[in-house]
């Protein structure tokens, strides 16, 4: 294996943002190739199908044949109806009438039945970056190229927000609620914490109406809870009680008070996207943002991050790339790199357990 | 066929690794010339499989000097006079989303059970099932189908000349669901039930969506025919992938053979070997996202199982959920909390390629592997839960079973997971040669025959597994090995593993004498010649089924077995690891399940009360009815949130307790 995994962490890079509707959504794309977009521009509009309701109109009106329903119909397929809207009846104002209980679309009228579909969930997908549309996938989404800071995370709960980044107070997130004064400065902002998320953290953040949280880790048991909260939960490292990689924290810390796009994309087993934080930064003179290097191979001197226990999150430099497999303490013989960690230790680490944090 | 197809390049795109093999004709026979592997590059930063392909091609070029692409970057085929390019470029792939399916059938134990076995022939994941005794009303059934967004609906049921009306009733729900789905996303409907209903089914679905008919999978209650249904499900998979999966479509255009699902390569080969060789053969591949098991009994009977829910990387959380925590713990020489195991599995899914660095992590990884394989084989054949597998050849594939770095360790894992008996020849396929053979078989059948000789696969060696009255710490097998004129004697005790290395290309004479009540393939004494391999000879004198004992016993025996197999230093288990773990999460989960069933139970008498009171007093009845309706109306979500609230309280108490402690 000659090429390392890359998980991007860069102050200034060329970002390719994949704005994509969820798989189950049926959508339309609002932008064209080459078009410039702003952070808040809606690039795609989608609807997620919702529940169907079957109303047996034939039975309701005690009809013998399905055709007998036709003269009673007060709606057509495709109509949007509100609660108490008359769906069928001889007269809209009196007599026996069939009402809709919910706001819905008339999906089908057949076989003496009226089938309603509850109003589908509408998704307006924002660009999240200031950039240019470079390609479009019909009905699914658009690829936007932009310049800015980018941090790729490990896990997200599927929510997205664009809000100002705030670093947690000294006492941690729990400290917000512990203070006697009413804390409002975190309301509507994305909170950065260095501590693992707990159930209590999720609850406090919900109460504080934050727009998102960036944390190193949380227990996998909390996944279902995190999926239910209405703000993005973004993990930089993974599951368990893991520390945030220093360089990750340092990068984010310098953007405190700046609006960021927090896309806590929830990757399933087959998706090839990652959750990411994007910050649109203005380029200074002389700055030259680079593209991620696809052909970046392992080499001596390269800075890497370890992704497995007991050294997960530690960074260091590769000092040697042995050609033959190395015997690890646990008995495996694996192709490794010898890495000098910033904590001072030098050891053999499987190449598969090393990530490059960008160029 | 050699004159038609000479050089062959076969590339397998896995979820984690892209592997390539170059095959050519040497001295009139097909041989593996070179191989290469790299990371699959459908992810950041390349997001393009072609990058990974290019990397493996470069590696092959470095080794062989052969160019594979022309100046424009297109694959060169057929082979040119300057020996650039190849005659055949074959592609197999296991990456990407499996087909999402809804299974509809009459009876869970009959038609649905057969349908589940039929879908194990390709990459299909079941999102919902619908049966005749489904208690949900039509509206709920409709929503269950539509909101699981199926790619395919597999309708089965009705023996020949059996039920018709019930099957049609189920078909009506499907028709309604399909008609409501948006036209661009209508699922394919495959019918494999009572053949008398084919015409009415065609009338129902023919104009609505792609409708495929297969042979009835249960022509009678005692007969099961899966071949036709499997074939049609395979067709549906290919049709879906080619039309809706851009990656597959792109790969398909590059190759003359199209894209063969990796797992089908194993099935094709197991079938072929089963027909041409004596004794059973088992092929097992545990990948990151999917796992495949193919078994041929040697009597024309083929079992195959493709499990998109079992994998050690992308699908690790699904594997854990599927086999359960206890099944994994059974393979651990220490105590582990549910939190530790769940975190491990979820982290593995985030970084599927990573390798355990600590001893504890390694045991968890291998516990998932063993439990996953056990689950897969026992579902394929429930008899294997208690009876050993009789097999004469085992081929191992997938990184977990081929890349521990010690061949005997790989074999030990296979012995634990498969638990075979008798005399077993073992090989490994770390280069994805088997899927390649499946893909090239229709174009160069001779290649398959010639490549199967053991110089192309990695020959591990032979395992002898005795059965019978194996007594612990008492000699089970006496072995006399004749090598280079020397006569070496060994005694293998019951409950232990013995490995004798025999280098590749060498062979030794072995005399076996089993203890009283112990036999190998029914014989107490025999002699045989054993060919060398990466491992050599293993005698596994552990009982079948393998008795692992409690955690204390496992903490002693499991490291010992590893030491006996590999010859490495004994890695003792830290006594602290055996201390009981206070598994707060598991206790909370169990309490939650109990509470859930109690709440549901409490709702039932309310209904009975309602009926009783109805006769006495209409007014009070109305009041009660309203109350009961409320409790009945409490949906799963409401119940969930009620339980969440309760759990929150428990968590708070727990947090307080922790703080105080």
Mind listing the pLDDT tens digit for each residue in B437-479? 988 988 888 888 888 876 789 999 999 999 999 999 899 999 9
Q: Is the dihedral of CA B431, B437, B438, B440 positive or negative?
A: positive
Task: Give alpha helix (H) positions in A72-197.
Answer: 173-178
CB contact A349 to B (< 8 Å): yes
Over pLDDT 90: what percentage of chain B? 60
Confidence (pLDDT) at B611 = 44
How many CA atoms within 13 Å lie on the side-chain side of B291?
Answer: 30
Instruction: Report the interhelical angle of B551-566 vs B407-418 (nearest 10°).
Output: 140
Residue A68 has a CB neighbour count (10 Å cut-off) of 14
| Coil/strand/helix, residue A230 | coil
Window A:143-172, CB contacts with B under 8 Å: 152, 154-155
Size of interface A-B (CB pairs under 8 A): 167
Confidence (pLDDT) at B319 = 97
Closest residue to B651, CB basis, from A199, A334, A352: A199
Q: Are A348 and A311 spatial neighbours (Cβ–Cβ below 8 Å)?
A: no
Residues of A with Cβ-Cβ distance to B60 under 8 angstroms: none
B640 preceded by cis ω (within 30°)? no
Closest residue to B357, CB basis, from A273, A274, A308: A308
- The whole model's pTM is what? 0.87
Nearest CA in chain A to B151: A24
User: Edge to edge, what strands does the sheet with A42-48 contain?
Assistant: A26-29, A42-48, A121-126
Confidence (pLDDT) at A329 = 92
Closest residue to A152, CB basis, from B44, B338, B406: B44
Condensed to tens digits (0 to 9), the pLDDT of residues B558-580 reads 999 999 999 999 999 999 999 98
CB contact A322 to B (< 8 Å): no
Q: How far apart are alpha carbons B276 and B268 in whole angstroms?
A: 12
State the DSSP code for B420: E
pLDDT band with cut points at 50, 70 and 90 for residue B47: confident
Confidence (pLDDT) at A71 = 94
Confidence (pLDDT) at B382 = 87
* Full DSSP string of A4-29: -EE--EEEEEEEEEEEE--TT-EEEE
Confidence (pLDDT) at B630 = 39
Any idea how long chain A is? Answer: 359
Question: Which has the higher per-residue pLDDT, B394 or B638?
Answer: B394
Helix (H) or strand (E) holding B71: none
Mean pLDDT, residues A264-280 taken together: 90
Q: What's the gap in Å between the CA of A271 and the closest CA on chain B?
A: 8
Q: What's the gap in Å between the CA of B406 and the closest CA on chain A?
A: 7
Mean pLDDT, residues A17-31 taken together: 89
Mean pLDDT, residues B66-95 taken together: 92
Question: Is B55 within 8 Å of A220 when comparing Cβ atoms?
Answer: no
pLDDT band with cut points at 50, 70 and 90 for residue B618: very low
Closest residue to B343, CB basis, from A53, A203, A240: A240
Residues of A with Cβ-Cβ distance to B95 under 8 angstroms: 270
CB contact A23 to B (< 8 Å): yes
Confidence (pLDDT) at A180 = 54
pLDDT band with cut points at 50, 70 and 90 for residue B386: confident
pLDDT band with cut points at 50, 70 and 90 for residue A359: low
Q: Are B371 and B261 spatial neighbours (Cβ–Cβ below 8 Å)?
A: no
Window A:62-91, CB contacts with B under 8 Å: none
CA angle B417, B20, B265 (to 5 degrees): 50
Q: Are B263 and B288 spatial neighbours (Cβ–Cβ below 8 Å)?
A: no
Query: Residue B590: pLDDT above 80?
Result: no
Question: Is A330 within 8 Å of B349 when comparing Cβ atoms?
Answer: no
Mean pLDDT, residues B203-219 taken together: 93
| Coil/strand/helix, residue A278 | strand
Question: Is A221 within 8 Å of B342 when comparing Cβ atoms?
Answer: yes
Over pLDDT 90: what percentage of chain A? 75
CB-based contacts of A178-184 (< 8 A; 24+ apart in sequence) = A183/A208
pLDDT band with cut points at 50, 70 and 90 for residue A181: low
Q: How far apart are alpha carbons A318 and A309 in whole angstroms?
A: 18
What ipTM was assigned to the predicted interfaces of this complex? 0.90
Question: Is B404 within 8 Å of A333 when comparing Cβ atoms?
Answer: yes
CB contact A200 to B (< 8 Å): yes
Residues of A with Cβ-Cβ distance to B345 under 8 angstroms: 220
Helix (H) or strand (E) holding A142: strand A141-152
Condensed to tens digits (0 to 9), the pLDDT of residues B316-336 reads 999 999 999 999 999 999 999
Any idea how long chain B is? Answer: 661
Condensed to tens digits (0 to 9), the pLDDT of residues A93-122 reads 889 999 999 999 999 999 999 999 998 888
Confidence (pLDDT) at B445 = 86
Confidence (pLDDT) at B3 = 46
Condensed to tens digits (0 to 9), the pLDDT of residues B91-143 reads 998 888 889 999 999 988 888 999 998 888 788 999 999 998 888 999 999 99
What residues have CB less than 8 Å from B280, skipping those under 6 apart? B274, B295, B296, B297, B298, B389, B390, B391, B392, B393
pLDDT band with cut points at 50, 70 and 90 for residue B644: low
Lowest mean pLDDT among A228-242, B154-168, B599-613: B599-613
Q: List beta partners, residue B189.
A: B153, B211
Query: Residue B584: pLDDT above 80?
Result: no
Closest residue to A325, CB basis, from B45, B146, B405: B405
Question: Is A353 within 8 Å of B354 when comparing Cβ atoms?
Answer: yes
Nearest CA in chain A to B353: A352
Average pLDDT for chain B: 87
CA angle A229, B661, B594 (to 5 degrees): 50
Provide the terminal-to-terminal Cα distance of chain A, rounded to the nearest Å.
19
Residues of B with Cβ-Cβ distance to A110 under 8 angstroms: 179
Condensed to tens digits (0 to 9), the pLDDT of residues A332-349 reads 999 999 999 999 999 999
Q: What's the gap in Å between the CA of A165 and the closest CA on chain B?
A: 25
Residues of A with Cβ-Cβ distance to B54 under 8 angstroms: none
Confidence (pLDDT) at B603 = 59
Closest residue to A310, CB basis, from B47, B182, B357: B357
CB-based contacts of B29-33 (< 8 A; 24+ apart in sequence) = B29/B450, B30/B2, B30/B444, B30/B446, B30/B447, B30/B450, B30/B451, B31/B450, B31/B451, B31/B455, B31/B456, B32/B431, B32/B433, B32/B451, B32/B455, B32/B456, B33/B64
| Coil/strand/helix, residue B446 | helix
Burial class for A181, CB neighbours closer than 10 Å (0-12, 13-18, 19+): exposed
């Amino acid at each position: 294996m000659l090429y390392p995994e890359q998980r991007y962490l860069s102050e200034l890079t060329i970002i390719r943002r994949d704005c994509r509707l969820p798989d189950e959504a049926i959508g339309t794309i609002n932008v064209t190739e080459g078009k410039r977009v702003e952070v808040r521009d809606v690039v795609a509009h989608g609807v997620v199908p919702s529940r169907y309701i079957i109303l047996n109109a034939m039975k309701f009106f005690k009809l013998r044949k399905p055709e007998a329903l036709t003269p009673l119909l007060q709606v057509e397929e495709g109509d949007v109806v509100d609660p108490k809207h008359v769906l069928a009846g001889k007269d809209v104002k009196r007599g026996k009438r069939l009402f809709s209980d919910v706001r819905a679309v008339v999906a089908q009228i057949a076989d003496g039945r009226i089938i309603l579909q509850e109003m589908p969930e509408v998704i307006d997908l924002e660009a999240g970056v200031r950039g240019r549309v470079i390609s479009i996938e019909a009905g699914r989404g658009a690829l936007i190229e932009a310049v800015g800071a980018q941090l790729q995370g490990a896990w997200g709960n599927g929510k997205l927000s664009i809000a100002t980044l705030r670093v947690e107070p000294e006492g941690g997130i729990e400290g917000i609620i512990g203070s006697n004064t009413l804390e409002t400065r975190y309301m509507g902002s994305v909170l950065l914490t260095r501590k693992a998320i707990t159930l209590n953290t999720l609850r406090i953040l919900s109460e504080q109406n934050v727009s998102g949280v960036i944390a190193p880790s949380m227990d996998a048991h909390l996944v279902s809870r995190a999926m239910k909260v209405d703000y993005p939960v973004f993990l930089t490292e993974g599951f368990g009680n893991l520390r945030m990689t220093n360089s990750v924290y340092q990068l984010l810390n310098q953007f405190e008070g700046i609006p960021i796009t927090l896309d806590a994309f929830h990757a399933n087993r087959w998706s090839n996207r990652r959750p990411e934080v994007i910050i649109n930064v203005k380029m200074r003179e002389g700055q030259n943002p680079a593209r991620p290097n696809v052909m970046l191979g392992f080499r001596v001197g390269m800075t890497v991050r370890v992704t497995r226990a007991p050294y997960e999150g530690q960074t260091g430099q590769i000092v040697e790339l042995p050609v033959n497999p190395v015997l690890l303490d646990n008995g495996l013989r694996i192709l490794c790199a010898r890495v000098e960690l910033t904590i001072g230790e030098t050891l053999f680490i499987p190449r598969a357990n090393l990530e490059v944090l960008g160029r | 066929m050699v004159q038609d197809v000479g050089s062959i390049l076969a590339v397998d795109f896995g979820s984690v690794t892209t592997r390539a093999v170059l095959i050519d004709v040497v001295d009139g026979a097909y041989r593996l010339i070179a191989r290469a592997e790299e990371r699959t590059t459908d992810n950041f930063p390349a997001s393009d499989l072609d990058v990974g392909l290019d990397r493996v091609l470069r590696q092959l070029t470095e080794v062989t000097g052969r160019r594979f692409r022309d100046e424009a970057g297109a694959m060169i085929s057929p082979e040119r006079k300057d020996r650039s390019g190849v005659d055949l470029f074959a592609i197999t792939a296991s990456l990407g989303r499996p087909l999402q399916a809804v299974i509809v059938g009459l009876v869970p134990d009959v038609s649905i059970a057969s349908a589940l076995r039929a879908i194990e022939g390709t990459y299909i994941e079941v999102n919902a099932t619908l049966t005749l005794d489904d208690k949900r009303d039509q509206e709920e059934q409709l929503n269950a189908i539509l909101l699981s967004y199926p790619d395919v609906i597999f309708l089965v049921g009705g023996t020949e000349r059996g039920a018709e009306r019930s099957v049609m009733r189920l078909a009506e729900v499907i028709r309604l669901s399909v008609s409501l789905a948006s036209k661009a996303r209508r699922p394919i409907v495959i019918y494999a039930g009572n053949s008398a209903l084919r015409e009415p089914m065609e009338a129902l679905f023919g104009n609505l969506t792609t409708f495929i008919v297969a042979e009835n999978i249960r022509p009678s209650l005692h007969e099961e025919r899966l071949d036709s249904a499997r074939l049609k499900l395979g067709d549906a998979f290919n049709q879906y992938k080619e039309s809706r999966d851009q990656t597959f479509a792109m790969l398909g255009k590059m190759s003359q053979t199209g894209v063969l699902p990796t797992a089908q390569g194993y099935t094709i080969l197991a079938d072929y070997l089963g027909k041409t060789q004596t004794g059973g053969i088992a092929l097992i591949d545990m990948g990151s996202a999917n796992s495949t098991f193919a078994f041929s009994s040697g009597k024309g009977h083929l079992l195959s199982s493709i499990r998109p829910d079992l994998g050690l990387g992308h699908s690790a959380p699904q594997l854990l959920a599927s086999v359960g925590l206890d099944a994994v713990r059974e393979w651990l020489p220490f105590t582990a909390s549910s939190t530790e195991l769940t975190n491990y599995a979820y982290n593995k899914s985030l970084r599927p390629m990573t390798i355990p660095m600590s001893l504890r992590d390694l045991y968890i990884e291998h516990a998932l592997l063993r439990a996953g394989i056990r689950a897969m084989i026992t579902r394929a054949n429930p008899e294997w839960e208690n009876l050993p597998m009789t097999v004469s050849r085992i081929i191992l594939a997938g990184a977990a079973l081929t890349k521990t770095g010690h061949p005997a360790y790989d074999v030990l894992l296979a012995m634990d997971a498969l638990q075979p008996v008798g005399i077993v020849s073992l090989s490994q396929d770390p280069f994805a040669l088997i899927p390649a053979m499946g893909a090239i078989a229709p174009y160069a059948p001779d290649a398959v025959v010639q490549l199967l000789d053991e110089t192309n696969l990695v020959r591990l060696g032979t395992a002898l597994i005795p059965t019978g009255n194996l007594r612990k710490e008492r000699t089970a097998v006496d072995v006399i090995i004749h090598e280079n004129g020397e006569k070496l004697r060994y005694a293998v005790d019951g409950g232990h593993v013995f490995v004798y290395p025999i280098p590749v290309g060498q062979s030794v004479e072995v005399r076996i004498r089993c203890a009283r009540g112990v036999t190998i393939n029914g014989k107490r004494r025999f002699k045989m010649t054993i060919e060398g391999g990466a491992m050599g000879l293993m005698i596994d004198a552990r009982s079948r089924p393998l008795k692992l004992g409690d955690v204390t016993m496992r903490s002693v025996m499991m490291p010992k077995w590893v030491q006996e197999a590999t010859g490495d230093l004994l890695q003792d288990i830290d006594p602290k690891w055996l201390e009981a773990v206070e598994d707060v999460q598991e206790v909370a989960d169990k309490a939650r399940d109990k509470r859930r069933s109690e709440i549901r139970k409490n709702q039932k008498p309310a209904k009975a009360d309602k009926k009783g009171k109805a006769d006495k007093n209409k007014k009070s009845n109305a009041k009660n009815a309203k109350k009961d309706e409320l409790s009945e109306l409490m949906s799963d979500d409401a119940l969930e949130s009620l339980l969440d609230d309760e759990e929150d309280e428990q968590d708070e108490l727990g947090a307080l307790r922790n703080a105080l402690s």
